[in-house]
Amino acid sequence: MALKVRPRTTPETGEWTLRKGPFVLGKLADTIKAIGWRTNRGGQLWPEVESQKRQLRDLHDGVRQFFEHGLDRYFEYHEAREESLGQLRFLDGWVEVVKGPDASLVAWAFLYETDDGLREIRRLRHSTAQATATAWAYVAAHAAAEYVSHTPVKRIWVTEVGLFDGIEFHIVDGISRDEARALYEERARSDVLAAIRGTAKVTGRGCGECKITGVCDSLVCSDGFLQLDAPGPWTRSVSASDLEAYERCPAQWYMEREAHLPRLEDGNQALLRGLATHRWIAKAHLRGVPCSLTDLPDPADLDRLSFLAGEEIDSADYELAHAFLRSHVSCCPLQSAASLSLSVEKTLYSYDGKADVVLATKADAYWVDGDTLTMREIKTVQVQPEGSDDEIFSRFLAVAWDLVALEAGLAQRFGAVNGEVQLEILSPSSAVVHTYSTRDAALMRMARGRVRRLARQWLADTQWDPLPNPGCSRCGVRRWCGARDAFESLLEGAVTHEVGSAT
Ligand SMILES: [Zn+2]
Protein backbone atom coordinates (compact mmCIF):
# COMPACT_ATOMS: atom_id res chain seq x y z
CA MET A 1 0.00 0.00 0.00
CA ALA A 2 1.15 3.53 -0.70
CA LEU A 3 1.25 4.69 2.93
CA LYS A 4 5.00 4.60 2.98
CA VAL A 5 5.23 7.38 0.42
CA ARG A 6 2.82 9.52 2.42
CA PRO A 7 4.80 10.12 5.60
CA ARG A 8 2.28 12.63 6.91
CA THR A 9 -0.77 10.43 6.34
CA THR A 10 -2.46 9.14 9.48
CA PRO A 11 -4.91 6.40 8.55
CA GLU A 12 -7.94 5.63 10.71
CA THR A 13 -6.91 2.68 12.89
CA GLY A 14 -9.09 3.09 15.98
CA GLU A 15 -7.16 2.47 19.17
CA TRP A 16 -4.29 0.70 17.46
CA THR A 17 -1.14 2.51 16.41
CA LEU A 18 2.07 1.14 14.96
CA ARG A 19 4.75 1.00 17.65
CA LYS A 20 8.05 1.39 15.85
CA GLY A 21 11.17 -0.47 16.90
CA PRO A 22 14.68 0.98 16.91
CA PHE A 23 15.85 2.07 13.47
CA VAL A 24 19.35 0.62 13.50
CA LEU A 25 20.45 1.87 10.10
CA GLY A 26 19.52 5.38 11.22
CA LYS A 27 22.40 5.29 13.65
CA LEU A 28 24.87 4.62 10.83
CA ALA A 29 23.34 7.42 8.77
CA ASP A 30 23.66 9.81 11.73
CA THR A 31 27.32 8.88 12.06
CA ILE A 32 28.05 9.54 8.38
CA LYS A 33 26.23 12.87 8.61
CA ALA A 34 28.13 13.89 11.75
CA ILE A 35 31.44 13.10 10.07
CA GLY A 36 30.30 15.18 7.08
CA TRP A 37 29.39 18.24 9.17
CA ARG A 38 32.61 18.04 11.16
CA THR A 39 34.92 17.72 8.15
CA ASN A 40 33.01 20.65 6.55
CA ARG A 41 34.14 22.70 9.54
CA GLY A 42 37.77 21.68 9.08
CA GLY A 43 37.95 18.40 10.98
CA GLN A 44 40.40 15.76 9.73
CA LEU A 45 38.61 12.82 8.11
CA TRP A 46 40.07 9.78 9.89
CA PRO A 47 40.24 11.22 13.42
CA GLU A 48 36.57 12.24 12.97
CA VAL A 49 35.68 8.71 11.79
CA GLU A 50 37.37 7.19 14.83
CA SER A 51 35.74 9.65 17.20
CA GLN A 52 32.26 9.03 15.72
CA LYS A 53 32.72 5.27 15.97
CA ARG A 54 32.61 5.74 19.73
CA GLN A 55 28.96 6.82 19.35
CA LEU A 56 28.15 3.27 18.23
CA ARG A 57 29.04 1.68 21.57
CA ASP A 58 25.42 1.15 22.65
CA LEU A 59 24.52 -0.91 19.60
CA HIS A 60 24.37 -4.70 19.47
CA ASP A 61 27.98 -5.89 19.37
CA GLY A 62 27.64 -7.55 15.94
CA VAL A 63 25.99 -4.50 14.38
CA ARG A 64 28.66 -2.26 15.89
CA GLN A 65 31.43 -4.41 14.39
CA PHE A 66 29.77 -4.31 10.99
CA PHE A 67 29.15 -0.55 11.10
CA GLU A 68 32.79 0.11 12.04
CA HIS A 69 33.89 -2.02 9.11
CA GLY A 70 31.37 -0.29 6.81
CA LEU A 71 32.47 3.21 7.90
CA ASP A 72 36.08 2.37 7.02
CA ARG A 73 35.06 1.09 3.57
CA TYR A 74 32.75 4.06 2.95
CA PHE A 75 35.32 6.71 3.81
CA GLU A 76 38.10 4.89 1.94
CA TYR A 77 35.86 5.28 -1.08
CA HIS A 78 35.20 8.91 -0.12
CA GLU A 79 38.93 9.65 0.05
CA ALA A 80 39.56 8.03 -3.34
CA ARG A 81 36.65 10.00 -4.80
CA GLU A 82 38.09 13.30 -3.57
CA GLU A 83 41.26 12.48 -5.46
CA SER A 84 39.34 12.38 -8.74
CA LEU A 85 36.65 15.08 -8.17
CA GLY A 86 38.33 17.44 -5.71
CA GLN A 87 37.45 18.20 -2.11
CA LEU A 88 33.85 17.26 -1.27
CA ARG A 89 31.58 19.23 1.02
CA PHE A 90 28.75 17.34 2.74
CA LEU A 91 25.33 18.82 1.91
CA ASP A 92 22.62 16.55 3.33
CA GLY A 93 21.56 13.02 4.23
CA TRP A 94 17.86 13.56 3.47
CA VAL A 95 17.60 15.22 0.09
CA GLU A 96 14.18 16.75 -0.53
CA VAL A 97 12.77 18.54 -3.57
CA VAL A 98 9.43 20.29 -3.26
CA LYS A 99 7.21 19.36 -6.22
CA GLY A 100 4.06 21.21 -5.24
CA PRO A 101 2.07 22.50 -2.22
CA ASP A 102 1.56 18.98 -0.81
CA ALA A 103 4.22 16.96 -2.54
CA SER A 104 7.92 16.52 -2.33
CA LEU A 105 10.42 13.97 -3.55
CA VAL A 106 12.87 12.65 -1.01
CA ALA A 107 15.99 10.58 -1.47
CA TRP A 108 17.40 9.06 1.69
CA ALA A 109 21.01 9.24 0.57
CA PHE A 110 24.16 11.27 1.17
CA LEU A 111 24.78 14.31 -1.02
CA TYR A 112 28.19 15.94 -1.50
CA GLU A 113 29.47 18.73 -3.77
CA THR A 114 32.77 20.26 -4.83
CA ASP A 115 33.50 24.01 -5.05
CA ASP A 116 33.00 23.89 -8.80
CA GLY A 117 29.55 22.29 -8.73
CA LEU A 118 30.23 18.57 -9.12
CA ARG A 119 27.65 16.66 -7.06
CA GLU A 120 27.49 13.06 -5.98
CA ILE A 121 24.55 11.45 -4.20
CA ARG A 122 25.34 8.08 -2.58
CA ARG A 123 23.18 5.17 -1.60
CA LEU A 124 24.49 2.59 0.83
CA ARG A 125 24.17 -1.16 0.38
CA HIS A 126 24.90 -3.45 3.29
CA SER A 127 26.75 -5.95 1.21
CA THR A 128 27.57 -5.13 -2.40
CA ALA A 129 26.58 -2.21 -4.60
CA GLN A 130 24.28 -2.90 -7.54
CA ALA A 131 25.03 -1.64 -11.01
CA THR A 132 21.49 -1.43 -12.34
CA ALA A 133 19.71 1.88 -12.69
CA THR A 134 16.25 1.90 -11.12
CA ALA A 135 13.60 4.60 -10.81
CA TRP A 136 15.19 5.37 -7.46
CA ALA A 137 18.44 6.44 -9.16
CA TYR A 138 16.59 8.94 -11.38
CA VAL A 139 14.64 10.34 -8.43
CA ALA A 140 17.95 10.70 -6.57
CA ALA A 141 19.67 12.38 -9.54
CA HIS A 142 16.81 14.85 -9.91
CA ALA A 143 16.70 15.55 -6.16
CA ALA A 144 20.48 16.01 -6.06
CA ALA A 145 20.34 18.40 -9.05
CA GLU A 146 17.57 20.56 -7.56
CA TYR A 147 19.03 20.75 -4.06
CA VAL A 148 19.77 24.41 -3.30
CA SER A 149 23.26 25.41 -2.21
CA HIS A 150 25.58 28.39 -2.92
CA THR A 151 27.22 26.64 -5.86
CA PRO A 152 25.59 26.25 -9.27
CA VAL A 153 25.29 22.60 -10.29
CA LYS A 154 27.49 21.39 -13.11
CA ARG A 155 27.37 17.62 -13.11
CA ILE A 156 25.68 14.89 -11.05
CA TRP A 157 26.62 11.32 -10.16
CA VAL A 158 24.42 8.75 -8.47
CA THR A 159 26.62 6.16 -6.79
CA GLU A 160 25.99 3.02 -4.81
CA VAL A 161 28.59 2.00 -2.25
CA GLY A 162 28.80 -1.52 -0.77
CA LEU A 163 29.59 -1.30 2.94
CA PHE A 164 30.93 -4.82 3.05
CA ASP A 165 33.37 -4.71 0.13
CA GLY A 166 33.75 -0.95 -0.33
CA ILE A 167 33.14 -1.29 -4.07
CA GLU A 168 31.13 1.42 -5.83
CA PHE A 169 29.07 1.68 -8.99
CA HIS A 170 28.27 5.01 -10.64
CA ILE A 171 24.73 4.34 -11.78
CA VAL A 172 24.24 7.83 -13.15
CA ASP A 173 27.49 9.15 -14.48
CA GLY A 174 28.17 12.87 -14.55
CA ILE A 175 24.97 14.23 -16.15
CA SER A 176 23.77 17.84 -16.23
CA ARG A 177 20.85 19.29 -14.26
CA ASP A 178 18.63 19.36 -17.38
CA GLU A 179 19.49 15.78 -18.18
CA ALA A 180 18.61 14.79 -14.61
CA ARG A 181 15.21 16.43 -14.94
CA ALA A 182 14.56 14.81 -18.33
CA LEU A 183 15.58 11.36 -17.05
CA TYR A 184 13.29 11.76 -14.05
CA GLU A 185 10.33 12.70 -16.27
CA GLU A 186 11.06 9.91 -18.70
CA ARG A 187 12.01 6.99 -16.46
CA ALA A 188 10.84 7.63 -12.90
CA ARG A 189 7.84 9.94 -12.76
CA SER A 190 5.27 7.31 -13.72
CA ASP A 191 6.65 4.96 -11.03
CA VAL A 192 6.41 7.73 -8.44
CA LEU A 193 2.80 8.48 -9.41
CA ALA A 194 1.90 4.77 -9.36
CA ALA A 195 3.40 4.47 -5.86
CA ILE A 196 1.35 7.41 -4.62
CA ARG A 197 -1.90 6.12 -6.12
CA GLY A 198 -1.46 2.55 -4.87
CA THR A 199 -4.37 1.31 -2.77
CA ALA A 200 -4.12 -2.48 -3.15
CA LYS A 201 -3.13 -4.25 0.05
CA VAL A 202 -0.40 -6.82 -0.46
CA THR A 203 0.60 -8.74 2.63
CA GLY A 204 4.26 -9.44 3.27
CA ARG A 205 7.11 -9.19 5.72
CA GLY A 206 6.70 -5.41 5.72
CA CYS A 207 3.33 -5.74 7.49
CA GLY A 208 5.19 -5.56 10.81
CA GLU A 209 6.09 -1.95 9.97
CA CYS A 210 2.86 -0.82 8.31
CA LYS A 211 0.61 1.91 9.70
CA ILE A 212 -2.64 -0.08 9.29
CA THR A 213 -1.57 -3.60 10.32
CA GLY A 214 -3.70 -3.59 13.47
CA VAL A 215 -6.89 -3.14 11.45
CA CYS A 216 -5.91 -4.59 8.06
CA ASP A 217 -8.50 -7.02 6.68
CA SER A 218 -5.97 -8.69 4.36
CA LEU A 219 -4.32 -10.28 7.39
CA VAL A 220 -5.95 -13.36 8.92
CA CYS A 221 -7.18 -12.44 12.38
CA SER A 222 -5.26 -14.71 14.78
CA ASP A 223 -5.58 -13.15 18.23
CA GLY A 224 -3.80 -15.26 20.80
CA PHE A 225 -1.68 -17.14 18.22
CA LEU A 226 1.52 -16.67 20.25
CA GLN A 227 -0.28 -17.57 23.52
CA LEU A 228 0.91 -14.36 25.21
CA ASP A 229 -1.05 -11.97 27.41
CA ALA A 230 0.77 -8.76 26.57
CA PRO A 231 2.57 -7.20 23.61
CA GLY A 232 6.34 -6.75 23.44
CA PRO A 233 8.18 -3.43 23.28
CA TRP A 234 7.11 -2.72 19.67
CA THR A 235 5.07 -4.08 16.73
CA ARG A 236 6.91 -7.05 15.21
CA SER A 237 6.69 -9.83 12.65
CA VAL A 238 7.85 -13.42 13.02
CA SER A 239 7.78 -16.86 11.38
CA ALA A 240 8.45 -20.42 12.56
CA SER A 241 11.89 -20.32 10.99
CA ASP A 242 12.60 -17.06 12.86
CA LEU A 243 11.82 -18.74 16.17
CA GLU A 244 13.87 -21.79 15.20
CA ALA A 245 16.85 -19.57 14.37
CA TYR A 246 16.32 -17.55 17.55
CA GLU A 247 16.32 -20.73 19.64
CA ARG A 248 19.65 -21.77 18.11
CA CYS A 249 21.30 -18.39 18.78
CA PRO A 250 19.57 -15.05 19.49
CA ALA A 251 22.58 -13.07 18.21
CA GLN A 252 22.67 -14.95 14.90
CA TRP A 253 18.94 -14.46 14.45
CA TYR A 254 19.23 -10.74 15.15
CA MET A 255 22.23 -10.13 12.90
CA GLU A 256 20.86 -12.13 9.97
CA ARG A 257 17.17 -11.47 10.07
CA GLU A 258 16.67 -8.11 11.79
CA ALA A 259 19.84 -6.18 11.05
CA HIS A 260 20.44 -7.97 7.71
CA LEU A 261 24.22 -7.96 8.11
CA PRO A 262 26.16 -9.35 5.15
CA ARG A 263 26.44 -13.12 5.34
CA LEU A 264 29.39 -15.15 4.27
CA GLU A 265 27.75 -17.97 2.38
CA ASP A 266 29.25 -21.26 3.42
CA GLY A 267 27.58 -23.32 0.71
CA ASN A 268 25.86 -25.36 3.43
CA GLN A 269 24.87 -28.53 1.56
CA ALA A 270 21.86 -29.33 3.72
CA LEU A 271 20.45 -25.85 3.16
CA LEU A 272 21.10 -25.87 -0.59
CA ARG A 273 19.55 -29.28 -1.20
CA GLY A 274 16.52 -28.30 0.89
CA LEU A 275 16.01 -25.11 -1.12
CA ALA A 276 16.52 -26.90 -4.43
CA THR A 277 14.06 -29.64 -3.51
CA HIS A 278 11.39 -27.16 -2.39
CA ARG A 279 11.80 -25.09 -5.53
CA TRP A 280 11.43 -28.08 -7.82
CA ILE A 281 8.42 -29.54 -6.07
CA ALA A 282 6.69 -26.15 -6.04
CA LYS A 283 7.23 -25.78 -9.79
CA ALA A 284 6.07 -29.32 -10.50
CA HIS A 285 2.92 -28.87 -8.42
CA LEU A 286 1.91 -25.78 -10.35
CA ARG A 287 1.03 -28.20 -13.17
CA GLY A 288 -1.75 -29.70 -11.03
CA VAL A 289 -0.76 -33.30 -11.83
CA PRO A 290 0.99 -35.81 -9.54
CA CYS A 291 4.78 -35.96 -9.75
CA SER A 292 6.06 -39.11 -11.48
CA LEU A 293 9.42 -40.76 -12.02
CA THR A 294 9.28 -39.93 -15.72
CA ASP A 295 9.48 -36.26 -14.70
CA LEU A 296 12.86 -36.95 -13.12
CA PRO A 297 15.49 -38.16 -15.56
CA ASP A 298 19.04 -38.78 -14.48
CA PRO A 299 20.85 -35.46 -13.83
CA ALA A 300 23.32 -36.41 -16.60
CA ASP A 301 20.38 -36.50 -19.00
CA LEU A 302 18.87 -33.07 -18.43
CA ASP A 303 17.58 -32.80 -22.01
CA ARG A 304 14.83 -35.23 -21.17
CA LEU A 305 13.49 -32.94 -18.49
CA SER A 306 10.40 -32.00 -20.44
CA PHE A 307 7.97 -30.57 -17.93
CA LEU A 308 10.02 -27.47 -17.28
CA ALA A 309 10.61 -26.86 -20.97
CA GLY A 310 11.45 -23.27 -21.66
CA GLU A 311 12.48 -22.54 -18.08
CA GLU A 312 16.03 -22.02 -17.07
CA ILE A 313 17.28 -25.15 -15.37
CA ASP A 314 20.01 -25.02 -12.77
CA SER A 315 21.69 -28.37 -13.25
CA ALA A 316 23.64 -28.18 -9.96
CA ASP A 317 20.36 -27.62 -8.09
CA TYR A 318 18.74 -30.50 -9.91
CA GLU A 319 21.59 -32.84 -9.10
CA LEU A 320 21.40 -31.95 -5.40
CA ALA A 321 17.65 -32.47 -5.27
CA HIS A 322 17.33 -35.46 -7.60
CA ALA A 323 17.34 -38.36 -5.10
CA PHE A 324 14.96 -36.47 -2.76
CA LEU A 325 12.58 -35.69 -5.61
CA ARG A 326 12.46 -39.36 -6.57
CA SER A 327 11.57 -40.18 -2.95
CA HIS A 328 8.80 -37.58 -3.07
CA VAL A 329 7.00 -39.30 -5.97
CA SER A 330 5.60 -42.06 -3.75
CA CYS A 331 3.84 -39.57 -1.45
CA CYS A 332 3.05 -36.67 -3.78
CA PRO A 333 -0.09 -34.99 -2.34
CA LEU A 334 -1.54 -34.58 -5.83
CA GLN A 335 -2.17 -38.33 -5.97
CA SER A 336 -5.35 -37.79 -3.99
CA ALA A 337 -8.21 -36.12 -5.79
CA ALA A 338 -8.97 -33.84 -2.84
CA SER A 339 -5.64 -32.09 -3.18
CA LEU A 340 -5.95 -31.43 -6.90
CA SER A 341 -6.71 -27.80 -6.20
CA LEU A 342 -3.81 -27.33 -3.81
CA SER A 343 -2.02 -24.05 -3.44
CA VAL A 344 1.73 -24.05 -3.66
CA GLU A 345 4.40 -22.51 -1.42
CA LYS A 346 2.55 -19.37 -0.50
CA THR A 347 3.18 -17.43 2.67
CA LEU A 348 0.03 -16.68 4.64
CA TYR A 349 0.09 -13.66 6.92
CA SER A 350 -1.95 -13.28 10.05
CA TYR A 351 -2.02 -10.85 12.94
CA ASP A 352 -2.07 -11.55 16.66
CA GLY A 353 -3.62 -8.47 18.26
CA LYS A 354 -2.81 -9.58 21.80
CA ALA A 355 0.94 -9.76 21.12
CA ASP A 356 0.88 -7.05 18.40
CA VAL A 357 2.81 -9.37 16.08
CA VAL A 358 2.39 -10.28 12.39
CA LEU A 359 2.81 -14.01 11.80
CA ALA A 360 4.15 -15.48 8.58
CA THR A 361 3.20 -19.09 7.90
CA LYS A 362 4.62 -20.86 4.87
CA ALA A 363 3.75 -24.43 3.95
CA ASP A 364 4.89 -26.24 0.83
CA ALA A 365 1.31 -26.95 -0.15
CA TYR A 366 -2.14 -26.65 1.36
CA TRP A 367 -5.63 -27.72 0.35
CA VAL A 368 -9.13 -28.07 1.74
CA ASP A 369 -10.83 -31.49 1.86
CA GLY A 370 -14.34 -31.41 3.31
CA ASP A 371 -14.09 -29.57 6.62
CA THR A 372 -10.29 -29.92 6.94
CA LEU A 373 -7.51 -27.59 5.82
CA THR A 374 -4.32 -29.60 5.31
CA MET A 375 -0.84 -28.09 5.25
CA ARG A 376 2.07 -30.10 3.87
CA GLU A 377 5.59 -29.35 5.16
CA ILE A 378 8.51 -30.96 3.32
CA LYS A 379 11.86 -31.53 5.03
CA THR A 380 14.96 -33.17 3.57
CA VAL A 381 17.31 -35.30 5.68
CA GLN A 382 20.22 -37.65 4.92
CA VAL A 383 18.79 -40.41 7.12
CA GLN A 384 15.14 -40.84 8.19
CA PRO A 385 14.85 -39.93 11.89
CA GLU A 386 13.61 -42.74 14.10
CA GLY A 387 10.98 -42.35 16.76
CA SER A 388 7.26 -41.97 17.31
CA ASP A 389 5.18 -39.24 15.71
CA ASP A 390 5.46 -37.32 19.01
CA GLU A 391 9.26 -37.50 18.95
CA ILE A 392 9.36 -36.38 15.34
CA PHE A 393 6.94 -33.57 16.24
CA SER A 394 9.33 -32.14 18.80
CA ARG A 395 12.17 -31.95 16.26
CA PHE A 396 10.40 -29.69 13.81
CA LEU A 397 9.02 -26.45 15.19
CA ALA A 398 7.18 -25.85 11.92
CA VAL A 399 4.65 -28.55 12.83
CA ALA A 400 3.75 -26.93 16.17
CA TRP A 401 3.59 -23.54 14.48
CA ASP A 402 1.30 -24.74 11.67
CA LEU A 403 -1.05 -26.51 14.09
CA VAL A 404 -1.38 -23.38 16.19
CA ALA A 405 -1.82 -21.25 13.06
CA LEU A 406 -4.60 -23.53 11.82
CA GLU A 407 -6.37 -23.38 15.17
CA ALA A 408 -5.90 -19.63 15.55
CA GLY A 409 -7.78 -18.64 12.42
CA LEU A 410 -6.23 -20.11 9.27
CA ALA A 411 -8.59 -23.09 9.01
CA GLN A 412 -11.57 -20.80 9.49
CA ARG A 413 -10.28 -18.35 6.90
CA PHE A 414 -10.40 -21.14 4.30
CA GLY A 415 -13.88 -22.27 5.34
CA ALA A 416 -12.61 -25.32 7.24
CA VAL A 417 -13.31 -26.45 10.81
CA ASN A 418 -10.30 -28.67 11.44
CA GLY A 419 -6.66 -28.47 10.51
CA GLU A 420 -4.09 -31.08 9.67
CA VAL A 421 -0.33 -30.88 9.20
CA GLN A 422 1.44 -33.47 7.08
CA LEU A 423 5.17 -33.57 7.66
CA GLU A 424 6.81 -35.19 4.65
CA ILE A 425 10.37 -36.22 5.44
CA LEU A 426 12.46 -37.05 2.39
CA SER A 427 15.73 -38.93 2.49
CA PRO A 428 17.62 -39.98 -0.65
CA SER A 429 16.07 -43.45 -0.37
CA SER A 430 12.67 -43.03 1.26
CA ALA A 431 9.74 -40.78 2.09
CA VAL A 432 7.69 -40.85 5.28
CA VAL A 433 4.63 -38.70 5.95
CA HIS A 434 3.71 -38.02 9.61
CA THR A 435 0.24 -36.60 10.13
CA TYR A 436 -0.89 -34.34 12.98
CA SER A 437 -4.40 -33.02 13.61
CA THR A 438 -5.80 -30.03 15.48
CA ARG A 439 -8.41 -32.46 16.90
CA ASP A 440 -5.70 -34.11 19.04
CA ALA A 441 -6.09 -32.19 22.33
CA ALA A 442 -2.89 -33.43 23.96
CA LEU A 443 -0.86 -32.61 20.85
CA MET A 444 -2.37 -29.13 20.68
CA ARG A 445 -1.35 -28.47 24.29
CA MET A 446 2.22 -29.37 23.40
CA ALA A 447 2.14 -27.24 20.25
CA ARG A 448 0.76 -24.17 22.05
CA GLY A 449 3.25 -24.60 24.90
CA ARG A 450 6.19 -24.79 22.53
CA VAL A 451 5.13 -21.70 20.59
CA ARG A 452 4.43 -19.79 23.82
CA ARG A 453 7.80 -20.57 25.45
CA LEU A 454 9.82 -19.50 22.44
CA ALA A 455 7.65 -16.51 21.53
CA ARG A 456 7.76 -15.14 25.07
CA GLN A 457 11.57 -15.20 25.10
CA TRP A 458 11.84 -13.82 21.59
CA LEU A 459 9.37 -10.99 22.12
CA ALA A 460 10.93 -9.70 25.34
CA ASP A 461 14.56 -9.92 24.17
CA THR A 462 16.24 -6.63 23.26
CA GLN A 463 19.84 -7.78 23.85
CA TRP A 464 20.18 -10.75 21.51
CA ASP A 465 23.19 -12.34 23.20
CA PRO A 466 25.16 -15.01 21.37
CA LEU A 467 24.59 -18.62 22.34
CA PRO A 468 27.79 -20.47 21.38
CA ASN A 469 26.90 -23.80 19.74
CA PRO A 470 28.36 -26.43 17.41
CA GLY A 471 27.05 -24.45 14.40
CA CYS A 472 29.27 -21.40 15.18
CA SER A 473 32.02 -22.59 12.84
CA ARG A 474 29.58 -22.52 9.89
CA CYS A 475 27.58 -19.44 10.96
CA GLY A 476 27.04 -16.96 8.10
CA VAL A 477 27.52 -13.90 10.34
CA ARG A 478 30.38 -15.22 12.49
CA ARG A 479 32.63 -12.51 11.15
CA TRP A 480 30.62 -9.90 13.12
CA CYS A 481 30.26 -11.98 16.29
CA GLY A 482 32.45 -11.40 19.34
CA ALA A 483 31.68 -14.94 20.58
CA ARG A 484 32.47 -16.70 17.28
CA ASP A 485 35.22 -18.90 18.79
CA ALA A 486 33.69 -19.30 22.24
CA PHE A 487 32.27 -22.75 21.57
CA GLU A 488 35.54 -24.07 20.21
CA SER A 489 37.43 -22.65 23.21
CA LEU A 490 34.92 -24.31 25.52
CA LEU A 491 35.56 -27.63 23.80
CA GLU A 492 39.33 -27.16 23.95
CA GLY A 493 39.04 -26.27 27.63
CA ALA A 494 37.07 -29.46 28.23
CA VAL A 495 39.64 -31.55 26.38
CA THR A 496 42.57 -30.01 28.25
CA HIS A 497 40.77 -30.57 31.48
CA GLU A 498 40.17 -34.22 30.66
CA VAL A 499 43.77 -34.77 29.62
CA GLY A 500 44.91 -32.93 32.74
CA SER A 501 42.82 -35.06 35.08
CA ALA A 502 43.89 -38.28 33.34
CA THR A 503 47.57 -37.72 33.98
ZN1 LIG B 1 4.53 -33.91 -6.04
User: By CB neighbour count within 10 A (0-12 exposed, 13-18 middle, 19+ buried), where does 269 fall?
Assistant: exposed
Rounded Cα–Cα distance for residues 189 and 443 (Å): 55
Residues 363 and 253 in one domain: yes
Which residue, 345, 349, 337, is CA-closest to 286? 345
Rounded Cα–Cα distance for residues 149 and 321 (Å): 58
* Of 301 and 126, the one with more pLDDT: 126
Q: Rounded to the nearest whole angstrom, what is the distance from the C-alpha of residue 269 to the centroid of ligand 1?
A: 22
Q: Rounded to the nearest whole angstrom, what is the distance from the C-alpha of residue 437 to the centroid of ligand 1?
A: 22
Residues within 5 Å of ion ligand 1 by Cβ? 291, 332
Q: Rounded to the nearest whole angstrom, what is the distance from the C-alpha of residue 202 to the centroid of ligand 1?
A: 28
Tens-place pLDDT, residues 195-209: 777 666 777 777 777
User: By CB neighbour count within 10 A (0-12 exposed, 13-18 middle, 19+ buried), where does 16 fall?
Assistant: middle
Residues 96 and 217 in one domain: no
**Number of structural domains found in the chain:** 3
Range of the domain at 186: 2-195
Distances (CA, A) of 287 to 86, 319, 333, 340: 59, 21, 13, 10
Q: Rounded to the nearest whole angstrom, what is the distance from the C-alpha of residue 427 to the centroid of ligand 1?
A: 15
3-state secondary structure string, 256-305? HHHCCCCCCCCCCHHHHHHHHHHHHHHHHHCCCCCCCHHHCCCHHHHHHC
Q: Rounded to the nearest whole angstrom, what is the distance from the C-alpha of residue 384 to the centroid of ligand 1?
A: 19
Rounded Cα–Cα distance for residues 281 and 283 (Å): 5
Residues 395 and 487 in one domain: no
- Over residues 76-82, the mean pLDDT reads 97
Least confident range of 159-173, 267-281, 320-334: 267-281
User: Please, are residues 474 and 247 in contact by the beta-carbon 8 Å criterion?
Assistant: no
Residues 188 and 223 in one domain: no
Residues 237 and 160 in one domain: no
Residues 182 and 256 in one domain: no
Residue 221 belongs to some domain of the structure: yes
Query: Which band of pLDDT confidence, cut at 50, 70 and 90, is reported for residue 396?
Result: very high
Q: Which one of 165, 195, 225 terminates a domain?
A: 195
Tens-place pLDDT, residues 30-69: 999 999 999 999 999 999 999 999 999 999 999 999 999 9
Q: Rounded to the nearest whole angstrom, what is the distance from the C-alpha of residue 271 to the centroid of ligand 1?
A: 20
Residues 378 and 474 in one domain: no
Q: Rounded to the nearest whole angstrom, what is the distance from the C-alpha of residue 142 to the centroid of ligand 1?
A: 50
User: By CB neighbour count within 10 A (0-12 exposed, 13-18 middle, 19+ buried), where does 189 fall?
Assistant: middle
Q: What is the pLDDT of residue 399?
A: 96
Rounded Cα–Cα distance for residues 409 and 351 (Å): 10
Q: Rounded to the nearest whole angstrom, what is the distance from the C-alpha of residue 344 to the centroid of ligand 1?
A: 11
Report the predicted TM-score, pTM, of the whole model to 2 decimal places.
Answer: 0.87
Residues 39 and 138 in one domain: yes
